[in-house]
Chains A and B, each alone.
Chain A
């Protein structure tokens, strides 16, 4: 099965941007979507949206729509999540996960997570 490998920890200042990568190891994304989910310290999971790399189709959760962009590079089987105008509340572990982008779909597998810490 494909494994998802994410980029490393990021330390950012408020107002800056962060770009996290998620690479499919041992295969490709095929026609699956890559979804992004974040988890603030001690909190639950929050769905952010998804991208279908093969088509470039994206969907964003309403609350992130203004400052979130998903992209993908099919040649390297890598998906990217860029979050702009960072604030302290964006401090979280960000996960990527594949799913079949239908309402009944589940997320599997998951990347190992990327910690993004936002502090002045």
Chain B
């Protein structure tokens, strides 16, 4: 049901930078609704990583950053660490569906 499109997987070596894209439409990201990002470590509940397009909750390292432009958003992780290996989800509201949607998720592998 996701109308927020994410790449299924990304990978990078320790210390490298990776980005994860989230592509929406004119009824969600393009309509101006905020994009939020979640990190889900294996076997655990998701936790908010970025809220309001680019804001980090306290405790989230500044290696994580995000931006939004037009109908897309992206999450960047610099200085990759083994502990960053997780699934990452974008989330936004869709006015045509009147629903809060998640992207299908991106699995980050640290090589």
List the interface of chain A (C-beta within 8 A of B). Answer: 35, 37, 44-47, 59, 61-63, 95, 103-113
Closest chain A residue, CB of each to CB of B32 = A104
Q: Is the CB of A62 within 8 A of B45?
A: no
Q: Is the CB of A95 within 8 A of B99?
A: no
How does the 8 Å CB contact mask read for B58-77 relative to A, with 1 for contact and 0 for none? 00000000000000000000
Set B34, B95, B99: member contacting A62, Cβ < 8 A = B99
**15 A-B residue pairings within 8 Å (CB atoms):** A44-B104, A45-B38, A45-B105, A47-B101, A62-B99, A63-B1, A103-B95, A105-B93, A106-B51, A107-B48, A108-B48, A108-B51, A108-B57, A109-B47, A111-B45
Given known contacts A106-B51, A108-B47, is B103 in contact with A44 (CB within 8 Å)?
yes
Separation of A109 and B51 alpha carbons in the complex (Å): 12
Q: Which residues of B contact A106 (CB under 8 A)?
A: 34, 36, 48, 51-52, 91
Q: Is the CB of A44 within 8 A of B102?
A: yes
Given known contacts A103-B95, A104-B52, A107-B91, is B45 in contact with A35 (CB within 8 Å)?
no
Separation of A63 and B102 alpha carbons in the complex (Å): 15
